[in-house]
Each structure stands twice: as structure tokens, then as C-alpha cells.
Chain A
Amino acid sequence: MAIKKFITGNFYDEAVLFPAVKKVRRAGYKIHDVYTPFPIHGLDKELGMKDTDLHIAGFIYGITGTTVAISFIGWALALDWQINFGGKPFFSLPAWIPIMFELTVLFSAVGMVLTFCWLCQLAPFVKKDHFNPRSTDDTFVMAIECTDKTNEAEAIAFLESAGAKDVQVQNRETGWWFGRYDRDSVVFGKKVAAV
């Protein structure tokens, strides 16, 4: 994939990050992503992201599970090989509810997790780049994508004025690929006080 240029800045407090996101977007810069060590509610809205449809997928997987369960059990016990269990009807729906329920949950959960991994492109041996390893520890890292028109110095100054610390220009390949975490880094050397 193409090599792109990003300007990254660290934020130490949600209260600084939120107005900064607004400012940066209003100024017309393209925010590539914001990397955070924990979920920050409302940040997705602030960044202009759409809600996820993952739960709809979960619902579809769930009803698929129910359908598979009832059709398979119905076919197996009422059509394919009928056996009289204690005089119960061959199509004894109430007795199948537990398994129908379990398969609904199983299909939904497994399907959703797989969909989640696929959408986020997460899998074992996949390693993605996130600009600053501290973004899984204590800082919120904003990455702005540079275009041909971006004036770097101006953008850096702007990001700093919005409250970002140690703003840098980084060249990165976009997307995901294998094995990029082996670079040496000493950012965890010193303790950083809360802001």
C-alpha cells in the first residue's frame, strides 16, 4: 500500500481531546484516527463516525441459529427417523426450545465475534501500526493525514495550539500488514503525571 504522511499528537486528557477534535475538523484537516487506551464515549460521534451495525449482524446470526435448530431437529425427529419417545408427538416443539435457544445464542455470539474481527481486521499474527505505543497505555493519539495541500509546519502549530503534546510527522504505510512492532522504543521509560 501507499506510503502516507501523518502528523500525530498526544493528548493526556479527554477534556482537552474533545474540543481539539472539533477544532481540527472545523479547520478542515482530515483526522485519520484517534487511538485511545480505553473506549471514550462520544468520541466516535465527535469524529463523525457512523454507528456500527454489528448488532444488526448479531440479530441476523441469531435468527439463523434458531432457524437451523428448528428445521434440523424437526427434520431429524419428525421426518427422517421417527422414534416414539414416551408417547410424545414426533414434532414436540416445547422440548426443543432449550436447544433452539442455545443455538440462537451460539450462532449470534460466534458470528458477531468473527464479524467484529473481520471488520476491524483483527487476527492472530496481524500487526497494525498505531503511531505511538503509548496510545495503549495513557495517551490519546490523534493522527492527521497529510495531503498535497497540507502545510506541515502550519498543521503542527495548529495541533499544538489545540493542546497536543510532542507533535511529530510520521511516514506510514496505511492499512494493515505483518510485523511492525519490533522497532525499539523507550517511551515507557518515564512516568507521566496525570493532567
Chain B
Amino acid sequence: MSLNRYESQVRGPLVVGDKDYHQITEDICRPVEARPSKLWWVGFIISLGLLLFGVVSIYMDVTYGIGQWNLNKTIGWGWDITNFVWWVGIGHAGTLISAILLLFRQGWRTGVNRAAEAMTIFAVMCAGQFPIWHMGRVWNAFFVAPYPNTRGPLWVNFNSPLLWDVFAISTYFTVSLLFWYSGLLPDLATLRDRAKLKWRKLFYGVASFGWTGSTKHWQRHEALSLVLAGLATPLVLSVHTIVSFDFATSVIPGWHTTIFPPYFVAGAVFSGFAMVQTLLLVTRKVLNLEEYITIEHIDVMNKIIVLTGSIVGIAYLTELFIAWYSHVEYEWFAFKENRVNLTSPYGWAYYLMMGCNVLSPQIFWFRKMRRNLLVTFFMSILVNIGMWFERFVIIVTSIYRDYLPSSWSTYYSPSIWEIGFYMGTFGLFFTCYFLFSKFFPVIAMAEIKHILKRSGDNFKEGMTKDENETLEEFEHENAHH
């Protein structure tokens, strides 16, 4: 026992309830093997309804064009790109938990990584919708692919941040999917070996790729996970950096700033963790997984929220200071008149953003608040609203008054179809998440079993006992071995 003692004694156990390996399998497979509850059906049907709203909205968009969205000459990017950036950001916490924390050997990630990775994949699926449908003539979407064509061949512009986005998002989606699915294989094999119904045997038999748990396979699997984590870590930073380049490489006051890449990445992690909290607080309650996703997990994630929220806050202030310090009058105007001025058309959005993202997370400096489920849930929603407004403020308040006062926009507010499209992506996201929680284990069983012996509550107790041992007792015990 003492050989493995790199778990901190002050940190609580990561798995509580005195579990053994079989019990872990039972607990985590139960929701998959049982019939879905009434609550599940209610949630699932609501999600499907939202998804349908989204489908109708997209139908309207394709039929009548993106003028349907109340976009105008000045505001060419409105809710659509706001939602795109927001959804991509949501995905980032999943990769952070699964990849970066794997590299840092953070044992607590094992309780939450599976659900967070699933969240990443669904969020990126939602994000990808926006640029695609924003093209208007979506049947020409394949133009973004560099293929030998009948126009020359005229190649796509590899110097354009919008094309970087295409590569970044599709790579991010692919790598996240591979990472998630390769991690699922052992757990799907467990479900396959437990299956009693014929369709289950077939489904999990196919899905688990014939995984056996051979030592050689585990060895390669570990190497694979580690390298994929090593690849995903710079990838996740690059993705939001590239998304920020969509703005930062332009010459629009309010967008053209070098702080964007780190600021966007921090914001993405911030909003992503808030979404993980929202999902996991519900999941652990509904599926009775409180012993695996403990208060300890909620606590550390809240610490990350207060850290990234503060980074974002510093970025807001830096941006503001530099706008003033640079003596670029257009830049300063964008900040002073379009954002900070509360009486300007979108001043309210700026203060909403500041309140939700910078001030409210500071409550998590208090341990009591970090470990309060209601406060955490409320905050997670608040942060997501705030982060949505951050993207809205960046996009809309920078472009609704451009260099030419005669073309300054009247107040832009979204149409029902633009709102419907956004709601539709919520539908897509939650439909996918409900199906995932029904058919796949929401917690990585194999990884939980792997950390059980050195972070379960049994081990913690033993450790506390060892630590409190006096020297005489220790020598006495050793003499007997």
C-alpha cells in the first residue's frame, strides 16, 4: 500500500462507499441495463421537440436565405457565429479533462471524463452546424474542401482563418471521437459479457470490437491513450486559438487584438467546465452515481471555474486598457461607446457578461459555496449565459457601428428562426446526451477500477492510519515482517 502513496492525504477519496471491482461494474452498468425512467423519457421527448424546431428553422433558412435571421449589411455575423464559438467552447472542458488532466496524472478525472468527452463530441457537432448553414447556399459547402475541381483547378485559400477553422474543427471532432471511442472499448466489452438479451449481445459485441482485456492490448491501449492525450492537448488549445483568429486577423476595432487566442481558450475552458457541472450534477442524481462523482469532483471543477473565470476577467480588463492605451481612436470608440457605455444599445450585454463571468464566479473562493450543489448548479447556468454574452458582445458590438456612421446598424435582434436554430442545437445536444446515457456507461469503469486501490475510501482510511502511526509502532510492525 505504501508504495503507491502519491495520493494526498488531505484530498478526500475519489470513490466512496467501500466498493469492490464487481460493485463498480454493477453500479455503472445498472442505468444502461435497466429500463429508462419516466424522467428520461420526458427529457428525451423535450429534446426531440427542440431538435424538430431546429430542423424547421434550418428548412426556413435554406428556403429563404439567411436574411431570415435578421442579419443585415453591417451585422453579417449575429447569433449564428456567436453560437458557433459558444458551442466550440463548451467542448473544450471535455478535452481538458480527458487529455490535459491525463498528462498531469490527475486521478479525479476518471469519474467525469467519459461524460465530458461525450459532451465535447456533441458540442462540436452542434458548433459545426452554424458555419455550415450560415453559408446560405449550403449545397455548395463542399467548396471548402481542397479537391481537384472544374474551376482551374482553383484551390481553396489556405491563408484564410476561415479555412483554418474548417481543418481545426474537423480534426478536433475526429480526434475527440477516436479518443472517446477507444476509451469506451473495454467498457463496452464489459457490457457485452454481461448481456443477456440477444440484441444487447449483438450490439455490444459489434461495438466493443472484440476487446478481451489481454495484457498486450492494455499495454498498447495505454500507449495509445497517452499519445492521443499528448496530441489532443495542443490540439484543443489550437482549436480555440484558430477560432479566435477568425476575429483577431481582421481589422475590425474590437476584434483585432493579440490577446484573443489565450483569452478565448480560457473562456472556452471556463464555459466548458460550467457545462460539465450542469450535466454531471443532473446525471449523478438521476443515475445514482453520487459515489463516483463526489462532492470532491464538484469542488475541484469549481476551483477550475474560479481560476479560468479570473483569467477571463483579466483578459477583459487588459483588452479595455489596451484599447485606451493604444491611442487608436476607432478601437477606443468600440470599447467606450459600444460596450462600456451603459446607455448604448448593447451596453446591457457588456455588463451582463461582466457580472456573470467575472464577478459571480468569485463566490467559489469560499469552500462552502464550492461544495454546495444548488449554488454550483445555479452558477453553472449563469456562467454559460455569461459566456454566450461574451461572444455576442465581441461579435455584435464590434460590427454594428463600423467606420462609416451612415451605415450604422439599427438595433439587431434575432428572428424566431435564428432562435429556433439555436434551440435546435440544444435539442441535438441533449438528444445525443440522453441516448449516450442510456446506451453507454457514463463513467469509465475500467479507469475507476484502476484508481480504486489508491483513492477509494478504504485506501484513504489505511493511509490516515499509516500517517498517524508513531515511530515505535512502525518499527514494531516492520520487525514482524
Contact = CB atoms under 8 A, between A and B. Distances in A.
Given A54-B224, A113-B182, A43 B215 contact: yes
Interface residues of A, number: 71
Interface stretch (B132-140, B171-179, B263-271, B358-366): B171-179
A110 B174 contact: yes
Nearest to A182: B201
A85 B146 contact: no
A81 B209 contact: no
Given A39-B222, A81-B152, A109 B21 contact: no
Given A37-B445, A106-B171, A125-B210, 18 more contacts: A33-B214, A33-B216, A36-B215, A36-B218, A38-B186, A51-B219, A55-B227, A98-B161, A98-B245, A102-B167, A102-B238, A106-B174, A108-B231, A113-B178, A113-B224, A113-B228, A116-B221, A138-B449
B146 A76 contact: yes
Contacts of B212: 35, 128-130, 135-136
A137 B189 CA distance: 9
A37 B217 CA distance: 11
Nearest to A191: B22
B25 A116 contact: no
B143 interface: no
Interface of A: 14, 33-40, 43-44, 47, 49, 51-52, 54-55, 58, 62, 72-73, 76-77, 80-81, 83, 85, 88, 92, 95-96, 98-99, 101-103, 105-106, 108-110, 112-113, 116-117, 119-130, 133-138, 176, 181-182, 188, 191-194
B146 A81 contact: no
A51 B102 CA distance: 20
A51 B220 CA distance: 9
A120 B220 contact: yes
Given A34-B215, A88-B159, A124-B207, A101 B201 contact: no
Interface string B182-214: 100110011011100000010001110111111
Contacts of B158: 73, 76-77, 95-96, 99
B337 to A, nearest CB: 29
B447 interface: yes
B218 A40 contact: yes
Given A119-B220, A120-B217, A130-B213, A38 B168 contact: no
Contacts, number: 210
Interface in B127-181: 146, 152-155, 157-161, 163-164, 167-168, 171, 174-175, 178-179
Interface string B21-36: 1110110000000000
Most chain A CB inside 10 Å of its own CB: which residue of B174, B212, B217, B224 = B212
Nearest to B195: A181
Contacts of B211: 122, 128, 136
Contacts of A38: 186, 218, 445-447, 449-450
B261 to A, nearest CB: 11
Most chain A CB inside 10 Å of its own CB: which residue of B167, B174, B185 = B167
A24 to B, nearest CB: 14
Contacts of A88: 159
B182 A116 contact: yes
Nearest to A176: B210
Interface residues of B, number: 69
Contact of B164 (A14, A33, A81, A98): A98
Nearest to B21: A138
Nearest to A95: B159
Contacts of B227: 54-55, 58, 108, 112
Given A36-B213, A105-B171, A137-B193, A112 B222 contact: no
B210 A122 contact: yes
Given A37-B190, A109-B174, A122-B210, A137 B157 contact: no
What 4 A-B pairs are tightest by C-beta distance, nearest first? A194-B20, A138-B21, A130-B212, A133-B193
A192 B22 contact: yes
Interface in B1-57: 20-23, 25-26
Nearest to A55: B227
B175 A109 contact: yes
A130 B214 contact: yes
B155 A14 contact: no
Contacts of B228: 109, 112-113
B235 interface: yes
Contacts of B435: none
B242 interface: yes
B453 interface: yes
Most chain A CB inside 10 Å of its own CB: which residue of B209, B213, B216 = B213
Contact of A138 (B20, B146, B175, B219): B20
Contact of B154 (A81, A134, A191, A192): A81
